[in-house]
Every structure is written in C-alpha cells, then in structure tokens.
C-alpha cells in the first residue's frame, strides 16, 4: 500500500555562465547533462528544462499506462511516445503554452481495451494533471 505524500528528491550542480553544461540527478541514477537550449542562446548539448518538462509528462503517462495494463492483464509489445512543446509569450511572460503528445501502442492483445486503458492513464497522470499548459493527445493502438 502506498503511503502519501510521496517525495522525490533531485539535484543539480552547475558552474556559472550561459554556455556551461551542468549535471542533474535523481537518487543513485547516473547524472544527465542539462543545458540552456540554443533557442535561448545556450549551447544545447544537454537536456533543457523544456525537454525535461515534455519528457516528464510523456513518461508519467507511459508509466501510468504500464501499471494499468499490468493490473488489467492487457499486454502490448511497446508504446512509443512523441511530444512537441510550444513555448510562447503570454500576458507579458514566457510560458509553456501547449503540449502535443502522440502515443502509438503496438502489439496490443485487445485493441479496444488497450485504448481505453491509455485514455484512463492520460486522465489520471499526476504530472499532466499538475500543469496549466494546454494538452492534445493523439492515440494509435494496433
């Protein structure tokens, strides 16, 4: 049984300067390179906050889907996700305004149930439910 609230701790260590790459890490996992993207005059060469934002929402839905499939005894070969994040000026400040996410579930044993479970995972994703950005989802199940 899960005991709430759950807490997740992450760390980042960065040298000064817009062109420096830094390391971000969660738990005992290997660190990942992080950087300001070229779109904001950074060097790229690492995951930007925008990349991590989109990956976070997409991976939360995938993780929720996998748990729901396991509990529902629905099998599939793989789920592919692709997200496009739109960053724009809104009310005088920079905001992540929209996230388009496409999921392609391949090798589902029951296509209708697999799609319904993915709809439920999208509805229940904690990360997605915690953000203000608009979201659009495209689902393909085969």
Q: Each residue of 25-72: pLDDT tens digit? A: 999 999 999 999 999 999 999 999 999 999 999 999 999 999 999 999
Q: Each residue of 87-129: pLDDT tens digit? A: 999 999 999 999 999 999 999 999 999 999 999 999 999 999 9
Q: Where are the domains of the chain?
A: 49-141
17 token code pair: 């300067």
**Mean pLDDT (whole number) for 18-27:** 95
Residue 42, pLDDT score: 95
Q: What is the Cα 83 distance to its own chain's centre?
A: 8
Q: Which residues pair with 10 in a beta bridge?
A: 26
Q: What value does the CA radius of gyration of the chain take, rounded to a whole number of Å?
A: 17
The answer to whether the CB of 64 falls within 8 A of the CB of 99 is: no
**CATH annotation of 49-141:** 3.30.300.20
Residue 47, pLDDT score: 96
Residue 33, pLDDT score: 97
């Amino acid at each position: 049984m899960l005991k709430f609230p759950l807490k997740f701790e992450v760390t980042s260590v960065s040298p000064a300067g817009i062109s420096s790459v830094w390391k971000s890490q969660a738990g005992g996992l290997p660190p990942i390179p992080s950087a300001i993207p070229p779109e904001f005059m950074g060097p790229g060469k690492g995951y930007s906050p925008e990349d991590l934002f989109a990956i976070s929402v997409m991976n939360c839905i995938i993780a929720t889907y996998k748990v729901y499939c396991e509990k529902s005894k629905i099998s599939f070969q793989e789920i592919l996700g692709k997200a496009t994040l739109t960053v724009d000026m809104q009310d005088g400040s920079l905001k992540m305004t929209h996230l388009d996410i496409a999921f392609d579930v391949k090798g589902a044993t029951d296509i209708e149930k697999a799609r319904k479970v993915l709809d439920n995972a999208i509805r229940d994703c904690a990360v997605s439910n915690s953000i203000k950005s608009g979201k659009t989802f495209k689902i393909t199940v085969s």
